[in-house]
Amino acid sequence: MVSSNKKKYDEVDHDTMSICEPESYFGLEEFELYKAARELRKRVYKVIKSLPNEEKYALGLQMRKAIISVTNNIADSHGRWHYQETISRLFRDRIARGSTEEIIDDLNICIDEGYSPTEICERLKKEGYKLVKQINSYIHYLKKSQKENTTKGRSADR
């Protein structure tokens, strides 16, 4: 039961309200996009550990930064729950997408230089391309949600 001094969901100003209600909130570790990125990160770390010593602090460091950027930016985006922050969320997700593409290029280096077995790198690249598609779908969802919220706000003003 809602007390008289609390507004019901339909009475709340949705432009300033959080996207998720406490009942519908799901944690970062339940977020499918984050879970996929985290699994890719674990597998990429195995490749990084197998790099030759001369690449551990060059290519290895670059790969580590890129793959950490993927999960960090997805996590940051997940933690931003206001429509007003959608632009920031889209920016973070685009960074995650770019960092995933960077990892795919790094895996090509591993293949070209013979640092890791081709079949392992090709499997990781497929996971990377799948993750890029998931990130693109999430960006599309955010844009659609923002448009729907804007449309609802305009129709409520009339």
Q: What is the pLDDT of residues 37-92, one digit of tens each?
A: 999 999 999 999 999 999 999 999 999 999 999 999 888 887 776 655 656 676 77
Tell me, yes or no, whether 157 lies in a domain.
no
Q: How far apart are CA 51 and CA 11, in angstroms?
A: 57
If one counts the domains in the chain, the total is 1
Tell me, yes or no, whether 17 lies in a domain.
no
Closest CA to 111 of 98, 100, 101, 123: 123
Tell me, yes or no, whether 43 lies in a domain.
yes
pTM: 0.75
Percent of the chain exceeding pLDDT 90 equals 49
Tell me, yes or no, whether 9 lies in a domain.
no
* First CA to last CA distance, the chain: 30
Tell me, yes or no, whether 67 lies in a domain.
yes
What is the pLDDT at residue 84?
57
Tell me, yes or no, whether 83 lies in a domain.
yes
Tell me, yes or no, whether 127 lies in a domain.
yes
What is the span of the domain harbouring residue 90? 29-152
pLDDT tens column, 2-19? 444 343 334 434 444 444
In this structure, what CATH number is given to the domain that contains residue 82? 1.20.1440.60
Tell me, yes or no, whether 92 lies in a domain.
yes
Q: How far apart are CA 37 and CA 74, in angstroms?
A: 8
What is the pLDDT at residue 141?
83
